[in-house]
Structure 1
Amino acid sequence: MKKIVTNIMAISALFLASQQLTAQKVVVGREVETTNDGKMLLGMQLKSKFTEAPYSDWYVKEHDEYALDQKAVSELKKDKINSYNLVVFIGTWCEDSHRDFPRLMRILEEVNYPEGKLKIIAVNRKKESPNGEEGLYNVHKVPTIIVQKYGKEIGRIIEMPTTGYIERDLVEILKKDDGSVIKEIFSK
């Protein structure tokens, strides 16, 4: 009996120690001042941060003026984009991010995408984030939009949509999802 209690205590201690080691404080909304680029966002961000100056200078105009491809938006709803997770890497210094990130947000608003399934990570000019997520996701260019289901990548849009429209590229990614992720999970 004493051995069982000792083992339980040891396992509990190891579990708590591992929790302590893996628990990182994630700073959301980090902003830095740079010599060449002025204010820059780094790391995890909330959508609301982009409606504040100086980011609102480029975000609001592109967001509000973007004409959605309604057919593609309907397809996204039909293909249940809300059941997927999105990880988006952007640079607040990057012109491609200035164009495509606000457009993506407009699309996601149109399909009522849950903010809890969206992860926005801002990187510096070296494409680095404070917690190194760019390495985990193998990101070398921004913007990069990664579509995931059950923690597995289904597809990504890198730098610019190949069709010219983010919503059309997202439809193409969702069409390729044949459920093989589920098959892969259950075949193990």
Structure 2
Amino acid sequence: MKKLITKIFAASALFLAAEQISAQKVVVNREVETTEDGKMLLGHQLKDQFLKEPYSTWFVKERDEYALDQNAVKDLKKAKLTSYDLIVFIGTWCEDSHRDFPRLMRILDELKYSEGKLTIIAVNRKKESPTGDESLHNVQKVPTIIVQKYGKEIGRIIEMPTTGYIERDLVEILKKDDSSVIKEIFK
């Protein structure tokens, strides 16, 4: 009887420990104040956070004034970008992020991209976030846009798009993914 009670107690303790670990929640929309940069977002963010001051001053203007490459947007629709997951690392202190993050959001709005497939992580000047996601994804510069399919990275845009247009770079990433799938089928 004593052994049975000990086993039940041990199992219960393991169950409670597992529940506690899985119950840890990620803080969303964290904002910090720094002497160097003033208000700054840090960690996981929702898109709406950028519509608030002081972020809206650069976000809304850049998003609304960006002229989309409509041919590239059509290609993204055809390639079903909406079926991929995106992880975006930005710095609210970073000029490149001020330019490219709102442009990306404009593209995603045009595609009716699901917010559930988008992860936005704001980092500090050391490129660090509270959850350490930047080291998991080896992020060295911001913005970094990572395209994933089934949890596997298929490409990324680092700091600025090589073509000058995020949507064109995304098309190139998706083209590489399509060709690799075809190669796998015919092996």
TM-score by length of 2: 0.89
Corresponding position of 2:46: 46
Separation in structure 2 between the aligned mates of residue 162 and residue 16 of structure 1, nearest angstrom: 49
Corresponding position of 2:55: 55
Corresponding position of 2:133: 133
Give the letter for the 2:144 counterpart: T
Secondary structure class of the residue paired with 2:14: helix
In the alignment, structure 2 segments of 5+ residues that lack a partner are none
Separation in structure 1 between the aligned mates of residue 114 and residue 130 of structure 2, nearest angstrom: 25
Q: 1:131 offset after TM fit, Å?
A: 1.0
Does 12-21 or 158-167 show the bigger shift?
Answer: 12-21
In the alignment, structure 1 segments of 5+ residues that lack a partner are none
Separation in structure 1 between the aligned mates of residue 172 and residue 116 of structure 2, nearest angstrom: 23
Separation in structure 2 between the aligned mates of residue 111 and residue 77 of structure 1, nearest angstrom: 7
Separation in structure 2 between the aligned mates of residue 18 and residue 104 of structure 1, nearest angstrom: 38
The 5 Å alignment of 1:16-95 reads 16-95=16-95
Corresponding position of 1:123: 123
How many residues are paired up? 182
Separation in structure 1 between the aligned mates of residue 153 and residue 11 of structure 2, nearest angstrom: 33
Q: 1:9 to 1:131 in 2, by over 3 A?
A: same
The 5 Å alignment of 1:153-168 reads 153-168=153-168
Matched, 1:171 2:154: no
Q: 1:174 to 1:11 in 2, by over 3 A?
A: farther
TM-score by length of 1: 0.88
Q: 1:11 to 1:154 in 2, by over 3 A?
A: farther
RMSD: 2.5
